[in-house]
Structure 1
Amino acid sequence: MQAPGSASTPRRPRNLALGLVDSMTARIRDGQMRAGDKLPTEAAIMSEFGVSRTVVREALSKLQAGGLVETRHGVGTFVVGTGETTNFRIAPEQIATAREVIAVLELRIGLETEAAGLAAVRRSEDNLRAMRKALASFTTAIDENGDALAPDFQFHLEIAKATQNVHFLELMTYLGTMIIPRARLNTAKVAGEGRRDYLRRVNTEHENIVNAIANHDPEAARAAMRTHLANSRERLRRAHEAAGG
């Protein structure tokens, strides 16, 4: 019988995957594989390193999470960076609690308050129509007891577009619908009111933002957006404290 830990003792798949990650990372960082290079196929990696497809896929997943590679479906996996710097990322598991959602709302207050001010100065009539269309969709969702999450996010996305600054739009697009608190928590319950009443109040806050943007009033737009997001933050904070958080 082989002694535990001897050379012929099979390593666990997790260790094999981490070893493969280390090997691939070293190749990327020493320049053997550069940004834009396509990685070998899964079969080729399996053959070279003597590991299973499961191990290869776990390793590629870790490399992707670390910002070193990206997989383009139907094309392959490509090197995108060296991993020397940490890419900004908010994973779904990072916004699973009230405290974590509050942290994202604090980020949004800084980002979207300024976006609203810029939108008030730079918005076009097309931008304004798109915001109002999102508001109308939100109202329809309330009246029909439908899903108001998509039009809520679309509304905020249209404001980012109206800044005419692609970086606001790209960051909001990256964050996606997970930035809307009720995508993670039952915010109507947190607020202590019915869903429809809660959403109507949210949409009234949206209307205040649009009115300020329509009036080319950047300070009013900033104030309306800050109030809207701060209200959500404070409701969650009170509920979190009441629960002993």
Structure 2
Amino acid sequence: MEPEQLTKPQTIVVRLTEFLSGGKYAPGDQLPTEKMLMQALTVGRSSLREAIRTLEAMGIVQVRHGTGTFLMRAPEKSEILVPLAIGGERESLLRALDIRRALESHAAALAASRAREDQLARIRATLEAMEETYRRDGTALKEDMQFHLAIYEAANNPLFETFIEAIRGQFQLFFSGVVASSDGRGTSSFDQHRELYEAIAARDPEAARLKTLELLDHVEDDVRSFGKS
């Protein structure tokens, strides 16, 4: 992707990602102050905060109010640079959905079969955090990511988290920048998250698989509606 294809907010996200990918910071490290990052990236405060919110929604950084911003995992530039033309972006995400359906439905089925009680408790806790944030703010992208990460973890195969997280990063950026807006798009699948948890907690692999596919059908609807009135 050529630089001129990037919008200003996306350009700042890419620059911040490159800054964090230089090897100077490791997961768990506290990042420089807001003022120092503004100077390093030559950006304004509002633009920097928007970029940090995007990376936080993707699980790359965590903002701890009163303490600072911390790196949670090393960012991959490939998960940030998504196609920006409407048709190209939509088609890229729809192709990625084919992979997500196969991986995430199987991960949910395995979680229903393999999850320990402490892992079920973590899925429930992330679900409740997501529901609370959604009721308060009308969106809960970061909490949604944590909910699904808890399911991958409960599948007890670390490769699921490795493979799925990279793919989901494109969707997190898409929804944080475009779909999760005041018109309500990007939220049509919200209610099904509790049903997915209940299927996993009931130790019903087939129900968990089907509920995951239903969730991803809603994601597809949102992606296809992008740019439409």
Q: Does 1:135 find its partner at 2:163?
A: no
SS in 1 for 2:190: helix
Extract unaligned runs of 5+ from structure 2. Answer: 1-17, 27-75
Structure 2 residue aligned with 1:237:
224
Alignment of 1:84-103 (within 5 A): 90-96=78-84, 97-103=89-95
C-alpha deviation, 1:202, in angstroms: 2.6
The whole-number CA distance in structure 2 between the counterparts of 1:175 and 1:239 is 19
Per the alignment, residue 49 of structure 2 pairs with none
Deviation at 1:168, TM superposition (A): 0.6
- The residue number in structure 1 matching 2:197 is 210
C-alpha change, 1:177 and 1:151, in structure 2 (3 Å) is farther
**Does the 8 Å CA contact 2:179/2:222 hold for their aligned counterparts?**
no
Give distance in 2, aligned partners of 1:74 and 1:210.
35
**Which residue is 2:179 aligned to?**
186
What is the rounded CA distance, in whole Å, between the counterparts of 1:74 and 1:203 in structure 2?
34
Aligned to 2:207: 220
**C-alpha distance in 2, partners of 1:105/1:119?**
20
Superposition deviation, residue 99 in structure 1: 2.5
CA distance in structure 2 between the partners assigned to 1:139 and 1:229 by the alignment: 18
Q: Report the AA paired with residue 98 of structure 1.
A: R
**How has the CA–CA distance of structure 1 residues 74 and 225 changed in structure 2, closer, same or farther, with 3 Å as cutoff?**
closer
The partner residue of 2:153 within 137, 153, 161 is: 161
| Matches of 2:114 and 2:223, distance apart in 1 | 33
SS state of the match for residue 170, structure 1?
helix
**In structure 1, what is the equivalent of residue 30 of structure 2?**
none
User: Larger radius of gyration, structure 1 or 2?
Assistant: 1
Q: For the residues of structure 2 that align with 1:230 and 1:95, how far apart are their CA atoms?
A: 21
Distance 1:237 1:166, change over 3 A: same
Could you report, residue by residue, the CA deviation over 1:152-173 in whole angstroms, capped at 9, with x for unpaired residues? 0011111110110010122234
Aligned residues between the structures? 156
Matched residue, 1:73? 24
1:41-90 deviation per Cα after TM superposition (whole angstroms, max 9, x unaligned): xxxxxxxxxxxxxxxxxxxx9xxxxxxxx953279xxxxxxxxxxxx984
* 1:98–1:185 Cα contact (<8 Å) kept: no
Structure 1: which amino acid aligns with 2:145?
F
Write the distance in 2 (CA, Å) between the matches of 1:202 and 1:186: 13
Candidates 79, 90, 115, aligned match of 1:123:
115
Would you say the 8 A contact 1:113–1:223 is kept in 2?
Answer: yes
Aligned identity (percent) is 26
- SS at structure 2 position matched to 1:202: coil
Tell me, in whole angstroms, the C-alpha distance in 1 between the residues paired with 2:96 and 2:177. 11
